[in-house]
Amino acid sequence: MHESRARILVVDDDANLLNLLVDTLSGVGYQAMGVPDSVTALERLKNETFDLMISDIKMSGMDGIGLLKRVRRYYPRMPVLLITGYPSAEMIGRASADGFLAKPFRISHIEELIESTLAGKPERITGTLRRIMVVDDDDSFRETLTDMLRTNNYVPLSASNSEEALRELDNGDIDAVITDIRMPATDGITLMNKIKEKNPEMAVILTTGFASQYEIDSDPTLASADGFLQKPFKAESIIGLLDQLSVAPADRSG
């Protein structure tokens, strides 16, 4: 019997596999509930609290990756495991799941993965930065940066402009924002100021390919930024900055 009695939501449109997983997980001590599709899963998540979700990827209607994206937006602290009969690097690259299970799988394997995922759960709810919003109107740069963050175990979200970013910030739990300065309509500095007005503690990192046009150390418009990076930058630069910002403010000077 698992002392945590973790509540697990299982999502699969294959009734036989759904029942097998629910019965097996219940039999080893979890509180497992099964639903047949993504829409029902989202309805359950609105009204009940779960410690972990397991979802098949290939489902009719909204597939598992679509469901994962909704869960990451509205329930960012809940770990998600994806089941698939068609694992591929491309598919895995499109998802930010906490783990994958390829069909056919052993029940002992899924139990081990659940335990290791739940064991890492407290790490996700500390003060460290995890969910990062990337705002840039350059599709190629935005996708490259989100892939870079995902590879380094962050949960990236993306927006192509400031207005979209502000909507996402209102809808979800975001730990930090990385935004380009030069964007049409509302620029990155204005976006940063709007974010800081609502949440002064939100970390905002500015990026630009035109660093020579800004006096980084003396420009008052940049004073609120928590970091400044000139494009192109290496993965080590942004990951190092995020690591530094994850430290409690009182400890950063040390």
Residue 115 shares a structural domain with residue 141: no
Residues 12 and 114 in one domain: yes
Q: Are residues 100 and 144 in the same domain?
A: no
Q: Are residues 18 and 110 in the same domain?
A: yes
* CA 13 – CA 78 distance, rounded (Å): 21
Residue pair 212/230 in contact (Cβ under 8 Å)? The answer is no
Q: Do 94 and 162 fall within a single domain?
A: no
State residue 244's pLDDT score.
83
Average pLDDT, integer, range 22-34: 92
Domain end call among 58, 90, 124: 124
Cα 129 from Cα 247, distance rounded (Å): 9
Residues 145 and 246 in one domain: yes
Instruction: Give the model's pLDDT for residue 25.
Output: 92
What gap in Å lies between CA 59 and CA 85, rounded to an integer? 11
Is residue 115 located within the same domain as residue 150?
no
Instruction: Tell me, yes or no, whether 109 lies in a domain.
Output: yes
Percentage above 70 pLDDT, the chain: 80
Query: For the domain that residue 23 is a member of, what is the CATH number?
Result: 3.40.50.2300
- Write out pLDDT tens, residues 48-93: 999 999 999 889 999 998 898 888 878 878 899 988 765 444 444 4
Encoded tokens for 162: 């400031």
Residue 84's pLDDT is: 75
Contact 210, 165 (CB under 8 A): no
- Whether 64 is covered by a domain: the verdict is yes
- Residue 148 sits in the same domain as residue 239: yes
Torsion of CA 193, 195, 197, 202, to 10 degrees: -110
- What's the pLDDT score for residue 86? 55
Query: Do 191 and 230 sit in the same domain of this protein?
Result: yes
Domain-located, residue 60: yes
- CB-CB contact of 170 with 179 (8 Å): no
Q: Is 2 a domain residue?
A: no
Range of the domain at 56: 7-124
Where does a domain end: 99, 124, 149? 124
Domain total of the chain: 2
Does 35 reside within a domain? Answer: yes
**Does residue 1 lie in a domain region?**
no
Band the pLDDT of 248: cuts 50, 70, 90.
Answer: very low
The domain boundary, picked from 91, 124, 157, lies at: 124
Q: What is the mean pLDDT of the chain?
A: 81
Shared-domain flag, residues 48 and 87: yes
Is pLDDT at 31 greater than 60 in this prediction? yes
Tell whether 70 is covered by a domain: yes
Q: How many CB atoms lie within 10 A of CB 210?
A: 10
23 and 95 housed in the same domain: yes
pLDDT tens for 91-111 read 444 556 777 777 777 777 788
Mean of the pLDDT values across residues 133-157? 87
Comparing 235 with 180, which gets the higher pLDDT? 180
**Taking the C-alpha atoms of 35, 37, 42 and 45 in order, what is their torsion angle to the nearest 10 degrees?**
20
φ and ψ at 207, to 5 degrees?
A: -130, 155
| Claim to verify: residue 13 and residue 51 sit in the same structural domain | yes
The mean pLDDT value for 150-172 works out to: 85
CA-atom Rg of the chain in angstroms: 20
Q: How confident is the model at residue 166 (pLDDT cuts 50, 70, 90)?
A: very high
